[in-house]
Structures are given as C-alpha cells and as structure tokens.
Amino acid sequence: MRPSGGPYAQPRAVAALARRVAAAAERLDRPVTFMEVCGTHTHAIARTGVREIVPGSVRLVSGPGCPVCVTPVDYLDRAIALAHRPGTVVATFGDLLRVPSSTVSLEIARAQGARVQVVYSPRDAVELAAAHPGKSVVFLAVGFETTTPPIAAALTEAERRGIDNFFLLPGNKVMPPPMRVLVDDPELRIDGFILPGHVSVITGWHMWRFLPGEHGVGGVVCGFTPTDVLRGIEELLSQVLEGDPRIRNLYSRVVTPGGNRTAQRLVASTFKPADAGWRGFGVIPASGMALRERWRHRDAGRFPLELPAPVEPPGCRCGDVLRGIIAPPECPLFGGPCAPETPVGACMVSSEGSCAAWHRHERWALGGAS
C-alpha cells in the first residue's frame, strides 16, 4: 500500500489485516464481489491503495454512492431553467456546478447570465432569501439520508421566520431501493455490501437487515481508514465462507442500531417517499423524497417551465459505472475526453465520483500518469 501519512498510523494493524484477508480469500471456492455504496468509501479505497492488496479473487466495485452522480439529467435541466427564470436565484452546493445537463452545466449557464449562487449549507440559502426578499431563491436539494435532515431544518426555519421566497427543488434520495435493484441483478451477483457509514449514522444499522433477511446477502457498516475497510472486507469474507449472511456494525463509535431519531422525525414531518429517477437506473419506486402537502408551497418543482428533452452526454457510461457493471477505466471516454479538468460525465465531476477517484488515485496502476 502507498504510504500517505495519517491513514497509515497503524502499519502493523494494516499489515496484519491484509494477511488475514489474503488467508480468507485463499479458502474461497469462487471469486466474490463486494460493493461499496458510499462516495467516501470509494475515495478511501482508491486513495489508500486497498484495492492493490486485496487478492484478485475479491472484486471491489463501486455502486451509486455519490448523490451528485446519480442525479438525473432532467433535474439539471430544470435547475438551469429555474436559474434563467425572471426573478429567480438558484442556490446550490458547488459540486453540482459542473455536472452536464442536456445542454450546458450550471457553471456555463451562470457565465451566460443565469442566476446561480454557490452556498455551503441549506441555511446559507435561507439567509440568501432573507437578504433578497424580491427574489425567489431555490435551493437544489440533492443528497442521501445524511443531507436531508439539514435541508428539512432549513425549510422549517424559513417557515418559522416567514421567509416566503425560499423554495426547494426536491432531489433527495434514499439508499435501500437502489440496493434492492442491485442485489437482484444477476449480472452483478453481489456477495456483500460495504454499507455507507454516514448514512447509517442517521438511519441506524438495523435499516440494512432487509439484505440478509430478504435477499440472502450480508453487509458491514465500517469507517473510512484502511483498517476500517480491510476489517469490513474480512468480515464479508467470513460471512461468505460460513454461508451466514448478516449485518455487522464495525462503526459503533458513531453508528447505533436505531440511528438519529430526532433527524428521522424532522425528515418524516417534512418529506415523504416518492418515485425518483436515478442516472443509470431509471425511475426507482419510493427511492426519492417529495415535500409533504403542507409544504407544497415551498416546492419549486411546481413552477411552470419549458424544458428540453433530457439527453445524456454522448459516449458517457457513468450510468454503468454507478450500477457496478463496469469499472471507470472501461468507459471509452475515461482519461481522454473525460478528465477532471474537462469532465464529460457526472462521475468525473463530483468529488465523490468513482471516475474522479480512479483518475486521481488509481490510473497509474493501468499504465497512466501518476
């Protein structure tokens, strides 16, 4: 593994875990596939070289763990149309700026005169609305279970303060529905999941019990250091070898069985499950979050707009990467037309994207520049 300061503060522990993982892998009677579904895990695995020391019989693949990456083109089309709408300002996190829509990115649209403001939290967007009462400020609500509670809190604050010009464009998603799709995909044959630690802080690890209970596939909640990830892989190998799929929480320093009940209640009072489109998956039932009826007056999705027919970037296989069908280097655009400086697809744009992680940390292993 490549030395890199802090993450390697326990080199003996890392080495011992690597030996145990190798010994367990030797006992397998077939190759196995483990999938991580968290952008932070994706980058942790790439950055710390975990993939280099895991035996070849253990395939590590990335799933839909990047919320910006799975946000579909038509959502970006609507966001850009809103930014061009008279009297409207779109507020967004910075990682959405360069994601391509059917036409241009938010960044290019802003350069062309659209009103797009980068914020660092949903509450910043509330303050933006308070400072510009003559404008409609629309926050692009994108993220998984971790991001939804602060968005709900911002919404309730705007209501409490009577800031009537603050709106959301709902785009939040939840992880279990796409994981059900993935685990039932015969082309993938996933043998275990490295479960998202940040999401599990909110939901609790009990939420994942449907995986072994309904699908016969185990999972492990773990942290983001090399020892955390390798310990997770060791646990998944043990489950496969024993034929005993289960959910194991190895991140108990922050993850509990039931999660953050206060955050859950806040979200439930503001949002409800809704069908949602995912890049690479299409529409997945009950995988999104829509505003409840009492909050519909805050929904910018009801604003009348003229939208183009959604078109994905030509040649981009980001959707296949998100489904674990291919690794990023198997996309014909990877490292050529599509690079961090000139991204074609969302997976190369976002700081949590699989293609960005591979390009930054692992392309040297493929013969590319380091």
- DSSP assignment of 72-119 equals -HHHHHHHHHHHHSTTEEEEE-GGGTT-B-SS-BHHHHHHTT--EEE-
- 347 CB burial (10 A radius; 0-12, 13-18, 19+): buried
β-bridge pairing 247-249 and 218-221: parallel
- Fold of the 13-314 domain: Rossmann fold (3.40.50)
Which tens digit of pLDDT belongs to each residue from 10-28?
A: 778 888 899 999 999 999 9
Length of the chain in residues, anyone? 370
Q: How far is CA 329 from the centre of its chain?
A: 19
Tokens found for residue 155? 């919404």
For residue 226, the model assigns a pLDDT of 87
**Closest among 259, 99, 85, 86 to 171, alpha carbons compared:** 99
Domain with CATH 3.40.50.11750 in the chain: 13-314
Phi, psi (deg, nearest 5) at residue 307:
-120, 145
For residue 104, the model assigns a pLDDT of 93
Parts of the chain with a pLDDT under 70: 1-9, 364-370
Phi, psi (deg, nearest 5) at residue 329:
-65, -15
As a whole number, the mean pLDDT across the chain is: 93
Q: Give the pTM.
A: 0.92
Please compute, for residue 311, the number of CA atoms within 13 A of its CA located in the half-sphere on the CB side. 10
Which tens digit of pLDDT belongs to each residue from 165-219?
A: 999 999 999 999 999 999 999 888 999 999 999 999 999 999 999 999 999 999 9
For residue 365, the model assigns a pLDDT of 64
Amino acid sitting at position 244: D
For residue 368, the model assigns a pLDDT of 44
Please answer whether residues 292 and 3 qualify as being in contact, where contact means their C-beta atoms are separated by less than 8 angstroms.
no
For residue 14, the model assigns a pLDDT of 83
**Closest among 231, 189, 205, 267 to 30, alpha carbons compared:** 189
Which tens digit of pLDDT belongs to each residue from 69-93?
A: 999 999 999 999 999 999 999 999 9
Tokens found for residue 255? 């993850």
> Looking at residue 188, what DSSP letter applies?
T
